[in-house]
Amino acid sequence: MQGVLAGGAGLWAGGRARADDLDFELFKAESAMDESVELLVDSKCVLGEGPVWDAQSQLLYWINILEHELHVYDPATGKDRNIPIGQIIGTVVPWKPGKVMVAVHHGFASVDLETEVLTIINDPEVDDPSTRFNDGKCDPAGRFWAGTVSLDEVKETSSLYRLDPDLSAHKMLNKLTVSNGIVWTRDAKTMYFIDTPTFEIAAFDYDVETGEISNRRVAVSIPKEVGYPDGMAIDAEDKLWVGHWGGWHAVRWDPLTGKMIQTIKMPAYAVTACAFGGPDLEDLYITTATAGLNEVDRARQPHAGGLFRARPGVKGVKSPAFAG
C-alpha cells in the first residue's frame, strides 16, 4: 500500500488512492448502478479524469492522466478521439475554436486540436521536477486555475495557481497535498476547492474583478466511508457534484448545510470527476479509473476506467472558457 494520496489517496503519481486504502467490503453494492447511468466509452483508463463541456463546439473534453491522453467525445456521433500529449496531463478547459488549454506535467499549455501540437505557455514550477499539474478549471472571468501534486508522495508540498488572460501565473495557495476539484457559484462570489486528503470541500470569498480569494472556511466535511473527494462540478442551484474515489458513486452536496442530498451509484470503485453537458446541460458526464485495482477487482468491475453519462434531474451551468 502506498501513502494516502494520489488524487485522493495513494498512487501519488496519479493523485489517487490504492484500492486497499479503503474498505472494499463497505461498498459491496458495486453491482448496483443507477438506471440513468450509461456507459459511453469503455476505455478502461488507468486514470480517466477532468471532463469539461465545450458549449461552443458541443463536445466533451476529458483526459487519461497517466497514459498522457486528451480525449474529445462527440455525443452526436458517439465517437471518442484520442490525442497523445506526450506527458502527464492533469486537466483541460475550452479556449478558442479548434484549441484548448491544458495543465500538464510541465505547466500550463495549449493544444491545437487539428495539428495535435502541445505548446507550453507558462511553467510556474519549472525548477521543481518533483511535481506535476492535476485538476483545474476556468473561473467566471476566464482565468485558468489548476493545482499541483507531488510525484514523490510528499504531503503539503503542492500549490494552486491562477493563469491570467495575459498568461502570467500566480500562486494562490500553498501547503496543499492533492489539489483537486474547483468551481465557482453563479454570482461569482464564492469559490469551492478540494484538497483531497483533507476530506473537506473548502469555501473562499471570491473577487471576480481581481481573482483574489479570502476567508477560507469548511463548507462540507466528508465522512471517510463516503470515499475520497476528487473532481467536482456545480449545478444551476449552486449544489456541488463530486466524484468519490473509493465510494462507487458521485455525490451531490449542499455547501450551505454540508449535507449529502443525492447520490449516483456507479459500477466502478474509483469515481474521479463530474461535468454537466449536453444541449440543455442536463447530462452529467462521469469519469472513472482502474488505477490500484488488481485482476480480481477488475473482473468485478469490468467497465471501470470508462466514461459514463447520467441524468441527475438537475441542470448544470456553462463551463467558462479561457479568456487569454
pLDDT digits (tens, 9 = 90+) for 225-278: 999 999 999 999 999 999 999 999 999 999 999 999 999 999 999 999 999 999
**pLDDT over threshold 90, residue 54:** yes
Write out pLDDT tens, residues 82-111: 999 999 999 999 999 999 999 999 999 999
What pLDDT does residue 209 have?
97
What pLDDT does residue 152 have?
87
Distance CA 235, CA 257 (A): 16
Write out pLDDT tens, residues 169-216: 999 999 999 999 999 999 999 999 999 999 999 999 999 999 999 999
Q: Each residue of 33-69: b (16+ CB within 10 Å) or e?
A: bbeebeebbebbbbbbbbbbbbbeeebbbbbbbbbbb
E-strand spans in 55-130? 59-64, 69-74, 79-84, 89-94, 99-104, 107-112, 118-122
What pLDDT does residue 35 have?
78
What pLDDT does residue 20 have?
45
Mean pLDDT of 42-56: 97
**pLDDT over threshold 70, residue 23:** no
Distance CA 116, CA 170 (A): 27
Amino acid 113 reads: L
**pLDDT over threshold 50, residue 122:** yes
Q: What predicted TM-score, i.e. pTM, was given to this entire model?
A: 0.92
Listing from the earlier edge strand, what are the strands of the sheet with 107-112? 89-94, 99-104, 107-112, 118-122
What pLDDT does residue 32 have?
58
**pLDDT over threshold 60, residue 9:** no
**pLDDT over threshold 50, residue 2:** no
Mean pLDDT of 56-67: 97
Better-predicted residue by pLDDT, 127 or 53:
53
Query: Among candidates 264, 239, 238, which has minimal Cα distance to 251?
Result: 264
What pLDDT does residue 36 have?
83
Q: What DSSP assignment string belongs to 122-180? A: E-TTTT-TTEEEEEEEE-TTS-EEEEEEETT--TT-EEEEEE-TTS-EEEEEEEESBEE
What pLDDT does residue 112 have?
98
Write out pLDDT tens, residues 129-167: 899 999 999 999 999 999 999 998 789 999 999 999 999
Task: Name the phi and psi angles at 295, rounded to 5.
Answer: -60, -40
Query: Among candidates 302, 261, 270, which has minimal Cα distance to 27?
Result: 270
Map residue 142 onto helix, strand or coil.
coil
Q: Does the CA dihedral 220-224-228-234 come out positive or negative?
A: negative
The three three-digit cell numbers of residue 45, written as one number? 483508463
What pLDDT does residue 25 have?
44
Distance CA 169, CA 245 (A): 30
Give the range among 19-28, 204-213, 291-300 with minimum mean pLDDT. Answer: 19-28
Give the range among 17-26, 67-76, 143-152 with minimum mean pLDDT. Answer: 17-26
Domains and CATH numbers, the chain: 32-148+156-310 (2.120.10.30)
By CB atoms closer than 10 A (0-12, 13-18, 19+), residue 80 is: middle
Beta bridge partners of 201: 194, 220
Percent pLDDT > 90 in the chain is: 86
Percent pLDDT > 70 in the chain is: 90
Q: Quick count: other Cβ atoms within 10 Å of Cβ 280?
A: 9
**pLDDT over threshold 80, residue 117:** yes
Map residue 24 onto helix, strand or coil.
helix
